[in-house]
Amino acid sequence: MTGQRRQPRSRPETLARRRDILDAAVETFGSKGFAAGTLQDIADQVGMTHAGILHHFGSKDQLLIEVLQHRDDTDVADLEGQHIPDGMPLFRHLVRTAFVNAHRAGIVQAYAVLSAESVTDGHPGRPFFEKRYRTLRAEVAHAFEVVCAERGITEPATVDLACASILAVMDGLQVQWLLDPTAVDLARASEFAIEAIVSAVLSPQPSPLAEPASSAHN
Amino acid sequence: MTGQRRQPRSRPETLARRRDILDAAVETFGSKGFAAGTLQDIADQVGMTHAGILHHFGSKDQLLIEVLQHRDDTDVADLEGQHIPDGMPLFRHLVRTAFVNAHRAGIVQAYAVLSAESVTDGHPGRPFFEKRYRTLRAEVAHAFEVVCAERGITEPATVDLACASILAVMDGLQVQWLLDPTAVDLARASEFAIEAIVSAVLSPQPSPLAEPASSAHN
DNA sequence: ATCAACTTACAATCAAGTAAGTAACTTTTG
DNA sequence: CAAAAGTTACTTACTTGATTGTAAGTTGAT
């Protein structure tokens, strides 16, 4: 839990090697978790010793941090050019993401496992996930503001609840889907839930849970 | 990963000791995860050696299994007498559970961490969580059937999607809440999302995500 | 006297990290 | 432009410290 290097990082071949290691680490941390996944596992995948990996990343903690950062960069790069969508297109984008994810169990599992593991004591991924959720909630909140403005709706107080809820369903469905892919339709369930939540913000219904208000005797 | 005993388990004092261990294990596995939480941690909490714990439970894997089973039993015991609710009361019960959970970060964290960790390779908690979600989804599905029948609604195709979604939001919100309790209102967000999803099943709205259907040129 | 509930002691791994060495490549310099 | 010097990308070997599990012994209760 000490070392760190990293300053010149020039050679293109070296960068490629680092990427190989990062990819192997996603695979390993995804399938075993951070605590149970070992540097040996990762080293084997890229054909070097565990000391070789420490040469590149300094420590296991640092490797995890760079893994998380790297994936974020990659995902952003995917929608390079297409600026990050906003307003209603953001919600469509989230649904599309769910459909894409249904074919990428590996990455989905890595995020599902690591995000939950990150709440444990002293987990090195915790700051990343705290920030990630804060950012994502803010982006979704902004999309809601835009959509509400478009429709002349005074922005409802439920927006904050809805932002967290949308991210939450997506994550929660992933766990259930990973446990039993035949029992849960990740893409369609995500779509359904996102639509339900967006609808609830834009055109609130009376709570279906309300007690029948003393309908009869007793 | 071998041994197992367990046959007479008679003395009442012994049972109490086992419960102490189980409680300590919930605490440890909750705060560190199963892979990172050690028998030593647990042993320290109850004032014995790690070998003492193995005497009672045979192996770490077995201990986890019994921890999960034990909590399930306890929770069921809590609503003993009050049969498990059904129909609309089930949804109200889920919301109430969210409110209760907002004051029990310890148990919430244990479930959040362990359920996600259980999707990893060879995790001993996996069968438990597979079964748990299967059962819970079926219970929620049944509640939907009852509610639909009450209102003369032909049971919509969205029920299966909604069941998984309701459990998913609850779980997903817990993770966000554990990461930053000030940013997420666990109870109110759960309530909001559950109401939104139930509404979407009972009185479906047109999808708010639908493209504006070629509103203008281009 | 027996058995349950432990403890002590140990076995067998195994993991992260460090240190030092080596081969290849890059840069500096005369 | 070639030789020297330095740097990078590793490996081997080792340290340190944990961790689960086992075996055998001890003590107190029934």
For B12-43, write each residue's pLDDT tens digit: 788 999 999 999 999 999 999 999 999 999 99
B179 in Cβ contact with A130 (< 8 Å): yes
Residues 6+ apart with CB under 8 A from A78: none
pLDDT, tens digit, 9 for 90 and up, residues B60-99: 999 999 999 998 888 777 766 677 899 999 999 999 999 9
pLDDT, tens digit, 9 for 90 and up, residues B128-153: 999 999 999 999 999 999 999 999 99
A 24-43, residues with C-beta < 7 Å of strand D: 43
Instruction: Tell me the pTM.
Output: 0.93
B72 touches strand D (CB under 7 A): no
In the block, residue with structure tokens 């996600």: B116
- The verdict on B95 touching A (C-beta cutoff 8 Å) is yes
Distance of alpha carbon A88 from its chain centroid, rounded? Answer: 20
Task: State residue A217's pLDDT score.
Answer: 53
B157 in Cβ contact with B131 (< 8 Å): no
Nearest 5 degrees, angle CA B11-CA B13-CA B16? 115
In whole angstroms, give the CA distance from residue A103 to residue A186: 10
In whole angstroms, give the CA distance from residue A30 to residue A40: 15
pLDDT, tens digit, 9 for 90 and up, residues A113-148: 999 999 999 999 999 999 999 999 999 999 999 999
- The verdict on A200 touching B (C-beta cutoff 8 Å) is yes
> Which residue of chain B has the CA closest to A37?
B35
In whole angstroms, give the CA distance from residue B166 to residue A172: 9
The DSSP-derived string for B163-175 is: HHHHHHHHHHHHH
Q: Which of residues 17-36 of B touch A (CB under 8 A)?
A: 31-33, 35-36
Task: Annotate B55-70 with b (16+ C-beta within 10 A) or e (fewer).
Answer: ebbbbbbbbbbbbbeb
Task: State residue A47's pLDDT score.
Answer: 98
B136 touches strand D (CB under 7 A): no
Q: Is B76 exposed, middle or buried (0-12, 13-18, 19+ CB in 10 A)?
A: exposed
Report the gap between the CA of B186 and the closest CA in chain A (Å): 9
Q: Which nucleotides of C are covered by protein (CB under 7 A)?
A: 3-9, 14-20, 26-27
Hey, what long-range contacts does A98-103 have (CB within 8 A, 24 or more apart)?
A: A98/A170, A98/A173, A98/A186, A98/A187, A98/A190, A98/A191, A98/A194, A99/A187, A99/A191, A101/A174, A101/A186, A101/A187, A102/A177, A102/A186, A102/A187
- pLDDT at residue B6 is higher than 50: no
In whole angstroms, give the CA distance from residue B218 to residue B216: 7
B58 touches strand C (CB under 7 A): no
Between the two ends of chain A, the Cα-to-Cα distance in Å is: 65
Ranges of residues in chain A whose predicted pLDDT is under 70: 1-9, 80-81, 212-218
- The verdict on B108 touching A (C-beta cutoff 8 Å) is no
Task: State residue A13's pLDDT score.
Answer: 86
- The verdict on A41 touching B (C-beta cutoff 8 Å) is no
A25 to A1, A71, A131, B175: CA distances (angstroms): 17, 11, 21, 23
In whole angstroms, give the CA distance from residue A218 to residue A166: 40
A117 in Cβ contact with A123 (< 8 Å): yes
> What are the chain A neighbours of B118 within 8 Å (beta carbons)?
179
- The verdict on B64 touching A (C-beta cutoff 8 Å) is no
